[in-house]
Amino acid sequence: MEADFWHQKWERGELGFHLSEANPLLVQHFSALGLQRGQTVLLPLCGKTRDMVWLLEQGYQVRGAELSQLAVEAFFAELGVTPEVSDCGALTCYQAESIAIYCGDFFSLQADLLGTVDAVYDRAALVALPSDMRSAYTRHLRALSGHAPQLLIAYEYDQLAADGPPFAILPEEISQHYADSYQLHLLDRVDVEGGLKGKVAATEAVWHLTPL
């Protein structure tokens, strides 16, 4: 899937994946990670999600990675904050108190730039990537985060009945990507109201990944 696909989504305002408030599954299950205030949470492919606002309100440091400059600028505008903008090699960093978002190719983000990551919250990244990119993504994410624990939200549905993204990520695939480094704990499954894109019955599965 090319970067232009996502740039065009943001340019056209096709933001069906964007929620106007924090994801209820994040609010309900984030405590499973056992973090303390002030610790750092990484959100890959973060968009302008209100989940980052919720995490800031809980007292966490937030680090995001996002391809779209429009998304990053919209997030800070909606937050009512003017970020400090700086070049970080192939990326542009937008930074304000307690938050930094690195804009550009996720695979250009390196651990030494990102700093310590205490946990990963992946609601929008793994499900956004086609199958031929997911292994490279999960390897890079593990390297970036130092195999930090994760809260992962995945969609489960009949992939033949609807086009992604978001793509269906079934338990077998999560095991394929992560079982060699993490214990996988299924915390919850909830039905997607009205089905995915109104086309097919779907559930959201919430996983807690703890390092071995």
pLDDT at 126 over 90: yes
pLDDT tens readout for residues 35-50: 999 999 999 999 999 9
Domains for the chain: give ranges and CATH numbers.
3-152 (3.40.50.150)
153/15 Cα distance (integer angstroms): 18
Q: What is the pTM of this model?
A: 0.92
* Residue 143, C-beta contacts closer than 8 angstroms, at least 6 positions apart: 111
pLDDT tens readout for residues 169-192: 999 999 999 999 999 999 999 999
- As annotated, the binding site for S-adenosyl-L-methionine includes 10, 45, 66, 123
pLDDT at 17 over 60: no
Confidence band for 125, pLDDT divided at 50, 70 and 90: very high
The per-residue pLDDT for 73 is 95
pLDDT tens readout for residues 78-88: 999 999 999 99
- As annotated, the binding site includes 10, 45, 66, 123
The per-residue pLDDT for 163 is 84
The per-residue pLDDT for 10 is 47
- The helix (run of H) or strand (run of E) holding residue 119 is strand 119-122
